[in-house]
């Protein structure tokens, strides 16, 4: 970066000849002496890897030197001729050899060479005059674009800056300032340059750390030259973040752009991420964006994606226009070939031949250079003078381009569902701790917002902690950047993300202590049943056995956020048993399941209620397998299909009894991976509860010190289906279990969230997990990916100790709400708290009842248990597919707003509900809060329509009555709906 002596940043520089000039400003022409400073970063544009291989771990001992700093006088004719012959020479090389345009280019190049005389400046002018015969006479200015002829290629300057990758987050802050200051300077010299850049986080860094550069950017935004785009906080991964995280990417991004630049983005801009969630079109539209740009699918390593411009449809039927630049890059050098490929590689010419050319130095930053802009001028000159080359145009914005496309949208082809990326499949697994922290932080934020909302309405002296929550969300959203969460950054970046997550969890602990005071509990685990309660943050009735201590267990049951505990009482027979059938062979059994464990694997899983064996005869479930994992190049990113040919089963050691308690039994097995790596596995079965599906839980502690190996665990099941189901954001994606076509085979490793399921129409098996995202189902074998051991770009990725939990959930019937809810519960276990001494038990008590008529005894039937209603909930007659996923305060409530946008009078609560199974889902939302009005809103909390609500009277036990408000919900399959409850003033 070039700085003035007064500490003002002026322009970025990039070594290696990329951007080495800074033009002295007119203010220096004052006869005075001026001092400038050059700030250098100890990395190149693509980090600091040794040996020229950019993805290798950086060299901490590498030094850089500023070789020269000199004042030079540029010969403009020589510089312009250099660009002239560059582009005409490209035409001679790239036009068809049998075309007159190619022969003409050769002829002009020869004439220029023959005319040029070294040292004769007049010959430069003569050479340029010859060049005009091929490129025209207007290439020295933006007038070249004023010929009035219809363009087909629209050039837009761009500077793709990875928020971290081969450099840490800290360096990105400097990259942004260097790159964007350079673009502001370039715009002053080239009036046709329009520049688009995404990522609200990067704008915020600029505003905080380089306010003078931010002011220059704002000025260019007002001029219509610098275009904030994308609408999201960062260019994030879309495979692994939760649905609510994707919502917050848009909410925080759009609010930043609106508050700082006066308008929201219309186009979602995500050129470089590793696959695209099937729910993105719906969320885009709900965030005010109807257009989408990407190009990463051009990297597919098996099938070529068939479209350039098309309508992309989400699971619920929402659609956006998608354009993938046919030059197949978001960092084009603006070569002749880039313009040519914008037509020759265009796959939607029969619908619309136009395309976007996104050019500028990227990944490491920089943006367009003067050479690139000059080259595009000459490409336009060739199109107008000679022809054959697609006509490029400069001066429009991305929105201008999509405005034109929208007029033809009805004629575009349609793509339904996810845009699966046939590369970088290893990113679902690499950097396991980072992924675990992501899952955990998402759950923590959900809980805090729910509880803080309840607390702020229960006690007006409690202030909703908006700033803390914003800070936490911004950190989590930043860590979801598409090279951070996927695991493809250097070790320094993960040290930074570890620190950010640690701060998130530290803040969460502080906030929960504050909330606990309002709720009347102490945030410490109880040691007795009488003094304890269980915290439930899920929006349905829960009934679970929970351990109080090593020797005591209790039953927690109810619908509210605080569940009363009751001592676990036994009937005549044990709730769960553990027997040794023979040496090293154990049988774990409850009223629903019988599990046979032999040498660490499950050789039988018998469903007593369904009278069905889950494991095929002769097969072994919970079998660890290891693969050689040697991708062609991108180590942290890729796992190739040929790795499946190297499968090896890991033999386990002796199985022993681990615990044998009233409510839970388990066995433990140690598995040797190598001299350096091992696994301790605990397989457990808990007491079953009548009316609820039981599952086998597995907890593994892996000591992992391997190189280029991939650890997975397999579950062969006696279920047949050509498709398996995987949880995704706000829904389910079905993918093939066979390799019939190359498109099917390409999905040999896929992304899944909390569960994957293989079901027939009347029976199925789900595999739940607490922190994993990689999965595969081939035939009837389900396979959960656990750990990889890539050595680049982080040489120590995933080395160390990992604790991982998963569960095998057999179920009668097809995939249903049973699996969805169990997956939520597996990731959100009840939390034991202590009552405050003054806290009295509240809420009615009832005798537990079961709607299951099976004759197997239920030891929990006669227990008196708490059933206090939460302040907002879905009524019992609602579709069980409906999920009340988010409860939070309104962004701009007068007691919540931080002032970035105008505050609104009153208090409100935002509810986000979705259909989780893919059918019409109807129900009622009820609340005990006093509600003045209910509105359906979008993700940005703009009101869309008013919803009719009604007051109902509830009969309480003991003859009392209470009232609540309720309103109807009717959702499309996989629809995400957001509602705003405007509270009455007395609420």
Distance CA 805, CA 798 (A): 17
DSSP per-residue letters across 672-736:
E-SSS-EEEEEEEEEPP-TTS---EEEEEEEEE--SSEEEEEEEE-S---SEEEEEETTEEEEEE
Distance CA 180, CA 182 (A): 5
Interacting residues of 132 by C-beta distance below 8 A, sequence separation 6+: none
| Exposed / middle / buried, residue 69 (Cβ in 10 Å: 0-12, 13-18, 19+) | exposed
- Do strands 774-778 and 664-672 pair parallel, antiparallel, or not at all (unpaired)? unpaired
Distance CA 508, CA 741 (A): 48
Using the 8-state DSSP alphabet, how is residue 186 labeled? H
Q: Tokens for 887, please give them.
A: 């409860």
End-to-end CA separation in angstroms for the chain? 55
DSSP per-residue letters across 160-176:
-B-SSSSS-HHHHHHHH
| Contact predicate 301/326, CB 8 Å | no
Distance CA 255, CA 251 (A): 6
| Contact predicate 134/124, CB 8 Å | no
The radius of gyration of the chain from alpha carbons, rounded to an integer in Å, stands at: 31
Where is 291: in which H helix or E strand? strand 291-293
Distance CA 778, CA 720 (A): 11
How far are the Cα atoms of 8, 109, 339 from residue 4, in angstroms, in the given order? 5, 43, 38
Query: What is the sign of the dihedral through the CA atoms of 447, 453, 456 and 458?
Result: negative
One of 90, 185, 272, 447 is an active-site residue; which one?
A: 272
| Contact predicate 623/825, CB 8 Å | no
Is 272 one of the annotated active-site residues of the chain?
A: yes
- Helix 200-209 / helix 466-479 crossing angle, nearest 10 deg: 120
Where is 667: in which H helix or E strand? strand 664-672
- Helix 121-135 / helix 370-385 crossing angle, nearest 10 deg: 50
Interacting residues of 148 by C-beta distance below 8 A, sequence separation 6+: none
Q: What are phi and psi of 176, to 5 degrees?
A: -60, -50
3-state secondary structure of 949: strand
Q: Tokens for 874, please give them.
A: 């879905």
- Do strands 576-582 and 562-567 pair parallel, antiparallel, or not at all (unpaired)? unpaired
**Active site residue ranges:** 272
């Amino acid at each position: 970066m070039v700085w003035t002596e007064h500490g003002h940043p002026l322009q970025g520089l990039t070594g290696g000849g990329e951007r080495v000039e800074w033009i002295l400003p007119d203010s220096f022409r004052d006869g005075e002496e001026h001092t400038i400073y050059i700030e250098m970063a100890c990395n190149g544009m693509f980090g600091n890897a040794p040996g020229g291989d950019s993805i290798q771990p950086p060299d901490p001992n590498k030094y850089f030197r500023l070789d020269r700093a000199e004042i030079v006088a540029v010969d403009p004719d020589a510089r312009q001729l250099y660009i002239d012959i560059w582009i005409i020479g490209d035409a001679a090389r790239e036009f068809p050899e049998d075309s007159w345009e190619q022969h003409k280019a050769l002829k002009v190049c020869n004439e220029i060479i023959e005319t040029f005389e070294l040292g004769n400046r007049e010959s430069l002018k003569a050479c340029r005059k010859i060049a005009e015969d091929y490129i025209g006479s207007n290439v020295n200015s933006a007038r070249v674009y004023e010929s009035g002829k219809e363009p087909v290629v629209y050039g837009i300057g761009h500077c793709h800056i990875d928020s971290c990758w081969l450099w840490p987050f800290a360096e990105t802050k400097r990259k942004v300032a260097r790159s964007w200051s350079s673009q502001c300077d370039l715009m002053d010299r080239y009036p046709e340059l329009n520049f688009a850049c995404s990522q609200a986080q990067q704008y915020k860094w600029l505003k905080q750390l380089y306010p003078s550069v931010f002011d220059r950017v704002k000025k260019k935004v007002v001029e219509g030259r610098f275009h904030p785009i994308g609408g999201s906080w960062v260019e994030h991964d879309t495979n692994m973040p939760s649905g609510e995280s994707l919502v917050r990417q848009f909410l925080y991004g759009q609010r930043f752009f609106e508050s700082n630049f006066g308008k929201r983005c219309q186009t979602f801009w995500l050129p470089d991420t590793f696959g695209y969630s099937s729910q993105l079109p719906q969320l885009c539209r709900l965030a005010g964006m109807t257009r989408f740009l990407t190009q990463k699918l051009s990297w597919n390593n098996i099938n070529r994606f068939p479209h350039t411009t098309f309508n992309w449809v989400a699971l619920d039927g929402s659609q956006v226009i998608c354009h993938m630049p046919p030059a197949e890059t978001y960092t084009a050098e603006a070569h002749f070939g880039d313009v040519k490929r914008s037509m020759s590689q265009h796959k939607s010419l029969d619908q619309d031949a136009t395309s976007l050319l996104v050019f500028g130095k990227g990944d490491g930053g920089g943006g367009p250079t003067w050479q690139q802009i000059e080259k595009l001028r000459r490409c336009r000159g060739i199109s107008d003078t000679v022809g054959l080359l697609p006509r490029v145009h400069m001066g429009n914005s991305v929105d201008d381009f999509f405005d034109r496309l929208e007029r033809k949208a009805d004629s575009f082809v349609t793509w339904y569902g996810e845009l699966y990326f046939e590369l970088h499949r290893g990113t679902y697994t690499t950097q396991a701790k980072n992924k675990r922290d992501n899952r955990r932080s998402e759950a923590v934020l959900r809980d805090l917002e729910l509880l803080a909302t309840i607390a702020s309405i229960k006690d007006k002296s409690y202030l909703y902690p908006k700033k803390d929550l914003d800070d936490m969300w911004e950190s989590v959203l930043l860590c979801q950047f598409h090279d951070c969460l996927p695991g493809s950054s250097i070790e320094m970046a993960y040290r930074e993300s570890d620190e950010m997550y640690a701060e998130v969890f530290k803040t969460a602990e502080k906030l929960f202590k504050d909330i606990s005071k309002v709720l009347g509990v102490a945030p410490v685990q109880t040691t007795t049943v009488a003094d304890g309660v269980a915290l439930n943050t899920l929006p349905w009735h829960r009934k679970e056995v929970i351990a109080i201590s090593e020797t005591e267990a209790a039953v927690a049951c109810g619908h509210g956020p605080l569940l009363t505990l009751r001592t676990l009482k036994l009937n005549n027979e044990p709730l769960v048993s553990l027997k040794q059938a023979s040496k090293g062979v154990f049988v774990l059994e409850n009223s629903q399941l019988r599990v046979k464990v032999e040498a660490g694997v499950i050789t039988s899983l018998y469903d007593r209620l369904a009278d069905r064996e889950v494991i095929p005869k002769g097969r072994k479930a919970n079998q660890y397998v290891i693969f050689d994992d040697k991708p062609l190049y991108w180590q942290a990113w890729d796992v190739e299909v040929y790795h499946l040919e190297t499968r090896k089963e890991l033999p386990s050691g002796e199985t022993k009894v681990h615990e044998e308690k009233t409510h839970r039994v388990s066995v433990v097995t140690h598995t040797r991976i190598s001299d350096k790596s091992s696994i301790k596995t605990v397989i457990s079965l808990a007491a079953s509860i009548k009316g609820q599906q039981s599952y086998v839980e597995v907890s593994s502690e892996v000591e992992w010190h391997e190189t280029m190996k991939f650890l997975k665990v397999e579950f062969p099941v006696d279920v047949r289906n050509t498709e398996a189901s995987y949880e995704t954001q706000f829904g389910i994606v079905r993918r093939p279990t066979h390799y019939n076509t190359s498109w099917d085979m390409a999905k040999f490793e896929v992304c899944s969230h909390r569960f994957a399921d293989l079901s027939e129409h009347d029976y199925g098996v789900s595999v739940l997990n607490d922190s994993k995202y990689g999965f595969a189902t081939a035939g009837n074998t389900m396979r959960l990916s656990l750990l990889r051991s890539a050595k680049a770009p982080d040489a120590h990725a995933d080395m160390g100790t990992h604790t991982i939990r998963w569960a095998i959930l057999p179920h009668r019937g097809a995939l249903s709400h049973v699996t969805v809810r169990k997956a939520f519960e597996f990731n959100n276990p009840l939390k034991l708290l202590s009552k405050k001494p003054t806290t009295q038990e509240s809420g009615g008590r009832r005798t537990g009842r079961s709607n299951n008529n099976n004759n197997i005894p239920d030891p929990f039937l006669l227990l008196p248990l708490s059933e206090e209603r939460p302040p907002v909930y879905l009524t019992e007659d609602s579709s069980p597919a409906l999920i009340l996923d988010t409860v939070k305060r309104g962004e701009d409530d007068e007691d919540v707003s931080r002032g970035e946008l105008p505050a609104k009078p009153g208090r409100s609560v935002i509810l986000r509900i979705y259909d989780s199974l893919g059918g019409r889902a109807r129900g009622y939302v009820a609340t005990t809060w006093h509600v003045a009005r209910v509105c359906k809103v979008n993700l940005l909390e703009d009101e869309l329509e008013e919803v009719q609500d009604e007051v109902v009277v509830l009969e309480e036990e003991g003859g009392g009555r209470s009232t609540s408000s309720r309103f109807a919900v009717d959702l499309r399959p996989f629809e995400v709906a957001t509602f705003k409850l405007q509270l009455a003033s007395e609420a």
